[in-house]
Amino acid sequence: MKRAIITGASSGIGKEICKRLLELHYEVIGISRSITDEEFNTPHFTPLQANLSDEKSTLLTCNSLKDEKIDMLINCAGFGRFEPHEELSPKTITDMTFLNLTAPMLLTNALLRSLKKNDGYLININSIEAIKTSKFAGVYSATKAGLKAFSDSLFEETRKSGLSVTNINPDMTQTSFYDELRFDTSDKEEERLLASDIADAVEHILTMRKGAVISDYTIRSLKFGISKKSK
């Protein structure tokens, strides 16, 4: 049975991808701060609690996983804050940068030999903000553009191996990502993405002939819409 590691596994896109891979008969290690066995009722799911915005916790996690036989790493954990840059706290900036960019690079560093050896898949769940600019999104966009650059470079670096590297850039997706923000996804079906749409993209990538790689996968809602929360 093939094995996958997924960060951000307890909610949103990460949880949906976990469900999909379990349906596809993968053994899944799901990482988040509060993940438990109760999240998925199957012996093929293993929870691993870690705070990937914290350097010490992330390095301990990398060390615990570095000798694992892994066929897939999906870096999904992340968060965003969208305010004028001078209003962001230093902790928000450092936490966002570490979780969105540094942690994926560290996990990839720990697992890359196994992924290459097993002709595996590295999938970074990014954001539409990696390829466009928006006001009040300077730090978030920088982390996502950095993650895309990392994916693109690693794709070129590992082309002599059997590793497939893909960067997925979803548009606004209905998840808990927006719980602490001043805006949310639209309530109209054609103006938002669902977490299952991203899981569909992952499944599509896995069903392709191994000799072909979708290196950059952008998913957008058919129409644009946004919902502002009442103060």
pLDDT digits (tens, 9 = 90+) for 86-139: 999 999 999 999 999 999 999 999 999 999 999 999 999 999 999 998 999 999
Q: What local confidence, expressed as pLDDT, does residue 229 receive?
A: 87
At 75 the three-state DSSP class reads: strand
How far is Cα 110 from Cα 65, in angstroms, rounded to an integer? Answer: 7
Does the pLDDT of residue 230 top 80, yes or no?
A: no
Stretch (H or E) spanning 94: helix 90-97
Please report the pLDDT score of residue 231 as a whole number. Answer: 62
Amino acid symbol at 57 = S
Q: Measured between alpha carbons, how far is 137 from 52 in angstroms, rounded to an integer?
A: 21
* pLDDT for the residue numbered 39: 83
**What does the pLDDT read at residue 222?**
97
Q: Count Cβ atoms below 10 Å from residue 36 Cβ, excluding itself.
A: 11
Which CATH entry fits the domain spanning 3-228: 3.40.50.720, 3.40.50.300, 1.20.59.10, 3.90.1150.10? Answer: 3.40.50.720
Q: Looking at the predicted structure, is the pLDDT value of residue 170 above 90?
A: yes
Percentage of residues of the chain with pLDDT beyond 90: 94
- The more confident residue out of 231 and 157 is 157
**DSSP-derived secondary structure letter, 201:** H
Taking only the tens place, the pLDDT of each residue in 187-203 is 999 999 999 999 999 99
Residue 164: C-alpha distances to residues 17, 91, 93, 130 (Å): 17, 34, 31, 20
Q: Which residues pair with residue 129 across a beta bridge?
A: none
Could you read off the pLDDT of 5-58 as tens digits, one per residue?
A: 999 999 999 999 999 999 999 999 999 999 998 889 899 999 999 999 999 999
C-alpha torsion 21→23→26→27, nearest 10: 100
Residue 162 has phi, psi (to 5 degrees) of -100, 15
* Residue showing tokens 């936490």: 95
Kindly list the domain boundaries of the chain, sorted by start residue. Answer: 3-228
Residue 37's pLDDT is 82
